[in-house]
Structure 1
Amino acid sequence: MRCFRIPRMNTTDLIEAARKATGLSDFGDPKALEGLDILVKASNEEARLSPAGAMRWRETLTTVLVNRLRIVDYLKRKPELLQRPVEKPMFVFGLPRTGTTLTINLLGADPMRRCLLRWEALQPVPPAKKGELHTDLRCGAQRQMLDAMLKIAPQIAAAHFEEADSPTECQYAMQLSFCAEIFDSILQIPGYRRWFLHETGYRHAFEFHKQLLQLLQEHNGGRWTLKNPWHPLFLDDLTAVYPDAQLVMTHRDPVEVVGSACGLLRLVRPMYSDKVDNREIAETLLETFDLMIARQNAFREKHGADAIHDIQYLEQLRDPVGTMRKVYAHFGEPLSAEAEARMTRLAQENPQHKHGRHVYALEDYGLTAAEVRKRYRDYIERFSIPQKSQEPGR
């Protein structure tokens, strides 16, 4: 039987494809392409891409390049946008699967806030016209695609679901600089992970992140409120670009976090590879979680214990609006009656497990609850995190 040979990707070819698709050539800061080179090398040598996965991955990287070209071009034609401030942005983060999505959705219900919406993160240029964030044709197209995905892969929606016009992770903004954890989640690429976690900085990615926000707020402003679980990895770079940032971290029993995160990656990775190793997934996540906890601890030690406001997952499930009141009080800001009413309605209309239950088991990844709890004992004790026995059904 003939073996299908997957052609190696080439950075030059990807760049040329993006330039051909747009008629543009300027990517801005050349540092972004350093990450692309490393990502392509790791994808070729380590990712074990399937034929369909390789095609999908090539399209993904080309689309990221296309978006970057269009953003740079738009801002070159409207440089005045870069003078507009991004004041006191709020960043929600925490180990993945700790309730960051619920938190950002509640915050996004406040009409005074501005979130990065899924559709515009995927197709940011041109920015939506005034008042059309939820009616733009690109939003409608994304809604149709998500409806189709719900039918094809309902198990992914059960694990993590976003509406076309709901807040999304600013991972999509960071990937424009090819310096984002999203790549390491999708593929098993230890070479890229080593560079991303230990050999590079995140500041240039945050600088381009800010430029994207300045572009998107051209016609639709508001207090930027963003979420990305992985931001604890580079809080110093985040606050260097956003010195008045408001930081919020969510917490949940690591036994549930690790199991749920492993389960999500196990659903996503087969889209790109036929050779998915459960133990590799677990080892990748554990290494990353260790760094996230250590680096946010170091940030608190440097800036004070109250530099980050903490939210407990269980408390937020039981009293979502009360948890939001504490967030606003921590930062000395009023929570309007209208915002509170919208938050209440959102919580009522979106109960836990609305799109089905995400089923996972640590044992499938060579782990036990005792092992995970021992590994993260200091983290659990430091933040007084309730354990699994106190948590509602998965």
Structure 2
Amino acid sequence: MTDQIISFVADELIAEAKSQTGFDDFGEPPYREGLDVLLQTYDLNVKDPEGRQRCRDRLVMLLATRLKSEHAFKTIPEIAEQTIKAPIFVTGLPRSGTSALLNLLVAAPDNRGLLQWEAQFPEPWPDSEPGQEDPRYPYLVKALEQTRNSDFAKMHYIDADTPEECVLLHAYTLGGVQLGFEIMLEPYRSWLLKQDLEPLYAYQKRQMQMLNWRNPGAQWMLKAPAHMLGIDAIMKVFPDARFIWCHRDPVAVVPSINSMNKLIMAMYAGDFSHLDSGEIGVAVMEWYASSLEKGLAQRERLPEEIFVDCSQGDFVDQPMAVVERVYEAFGLSMSDESRAAMQAHVDANPKGKHGKHEYNLAEYGLTREMIGKRFAFYTSAGRWPISD
């Protein structure tokens, strides 16, 4: 396989997606500009032939899913009738406990998360009815079982039924943070920072309505560190939204997210040794520092009662106490069944259950001092419950 036979021509990918699905309407919001910038970013930065093929295949899959989703929106009018009431968004720096907290909350039968298999297959199987098992589900279960002993699983354990980040739905707009490493590379990084995020969240709402039609839920619980950049957009699309903001010392966060970024790049882009790991390390730090700055600034303009703050240390030490605080702050009722389910989840998932992933700062061209200086606006504020 050579680079020359791996095409990054947008019209060719679009034609493949149309051919795969038999549909030709991508709906709203516009997708072509994001697709073009993503392809340019992959072409410039992904040199490994197999990695190029994986990135190309993924974009065709996104386009095909977008086409199938639009067909469902047009042919199933009940989707648009679904109400998404007062969703709760978990956000904050990555590696600050956002996933662990969401996993615990969604263990309660009263709560509804975006599950991994739904994020992969948001559109309904043809002629399926609400509540029916998706025939693609068991294949994803088997595929994810093959990743159990990977380094990635030690950092971010997933199976078909774990709740996942909203960015997996955002990707179908050909915008958002995608897999996470694209936002560290140009020109996609600069392009995304200039975008209005409201259309992206409006599309997420339509996808949530489709998922709610397929498998109804009561209280939606969502999460992504990327939501720090989208607080204003979220409030425009979901004016009754509430937020849980997770906090952790950036000195622990930055090397951890760099390590995860490195693993994801290797999984999809293959060999990326031609890229400067120090430059990427600094880019990771800057992305999340600026996201946090912007998110906290947007938060200042909103009522404080729609936010609950949680330190990673508090959650590790007393997870159910954090849950109680969330329920009380947002006026949620906890049934005995939900309490028992969440406690069972805590008991079954001790810290480090899936192994520990080791990482270091020097590998990414960073020092504790560099991180401390960049995040001083956050750590020195004396306002946030930051823990190691």
Class of the TM-score when normalised by the shorter of the 2 chains: over 0.9
> Residues 227-253 of structure 1, C-alpha deviation per residue, up to 9 Å, x if partnerless?
111111121111101111111111111
Structure 2 gaps of 5+ residues are: none
CA distance in 2, matches of 1:188, 1:333: 38
- 1:203 counterpart residue number: 198
Choose from 72, 88, 98 the match for 1:74: 72
CA contact (8 A) 1:114 1:224 kept: yes
In structure 2, the CA distance between the partners of 1:99 and 1:307, relative to structure 1 (3 Å rule), is same
In structure 2, the CA distance between the partners of 1:59 and 1:319, relative to structure 1 (3 Å rule), is same
In structure 2, the CA distance between the partners of 1:214 and 1:129, relative to structure 1 (3 Å rule), is same
Residue 207 of structure 1 deviates from its aligned partner by 1.0
1:317-328 paired onto structure 2 within 5 Å: 317-328=316-327
Choose from 238, 252, 272 the match for 1:256: 252
CA distance in 2, matches of 1:229, 1:142: 25
- 1:234 counterpart residue number: 230
- 1:244 counterpart residue number: 240
Residue 219 of structure 1 deviates from its aligned partner by 3.7
Choose from 186, 190, 215 the match for 1:190: 186
Residue 4 of structure 1 deviates from its aligned partner by 5.3
Residue 70 of structure 1 deviates from its aligned partner by 0.5
CA distance in 2, matches of 1:304, 1:214: 26
CA distance in 1, matches of 2:184, 2:376: 27
* Partner AA of 1:244 in structure 2: D
In structure 2, the CA distance between the partners of 1:4 and 1:236, relative to structure 1 (3 Å rule), is closer
* Partner AA of 1:369 in structure 2: R
TM-score (norm 2): 0.93
Residue 291 of structure 1 deviates from its aligned partner by 1.8
Does residue 378 of structure 2 align to residue 379 of structure 1?
Answer: yes
CA distance in 2, matches of 1:353, 1:320: 15
- 1:285 counterpart residue number: 284
CA distance in 2, matches of 1:387, 1:323: 14
SS of structure 2 residue aligned to 1:248: strand
CA distance in 2, matches of 1:231, 1:91: 8
1:15-94 paired onto structure 2 within 5 Å: 15-29=14-28, 31-45=30-44, 47-94=45-92
SS of structure 2 residue aligned to 1:149: coil
CA contact (8 A) 2:26 2:67 kept: yes
Structure 1 gaps of 5+ residues are: 389-394
In structure 2, the CA distance between the partners of 1:162 and 1:171, relative to structure 1 (3 Å rule), is same
CA contact (8 A) 1:255 1:369 kept: yes
Does residue 169 of structure 2 align to residue 173 of structure 1?
Answer: yes
TM-score (norm 1): 0.91
Query: Which of 320-329 and 181-190 deviates more?
Result: 181-190
Does residue 207 of structure 2 align to residue 212 of structure 1?
Answer: yes
- 2:298 counterpart residue number: 299
- 1:341 counterpart residue number: 340
CA contact (8 A) 1:8 1:44 kept: no
- 1:392 counterpart residue number: none
Query: Which of 36-45 and 358-367 deviates more?
Result: 36-45
- Please tell me the root mean square deviation across aligned C-alpha atoms, in Å: 1.9
- In percent, how many aligned pairs have the same letter? 32
- 1:108 counterpart residue number: 106
CA distance in 1, matches of 2:253, 2:240: 29
CA distance in 1, matches of 2:60, 2:284: 27
Residue 188 of structure 1 deviates from its aligned partner by 4.8
- 2:271 counterpart residue number: 274
SS of structure 2 residue aligned to 1:150: coil
* Partner AA of 1:68 in structure 2: R
CA contact (8 A) 1:130 1:220 kept: yes
SS of structure 2 residue aligned to 1:91: strand
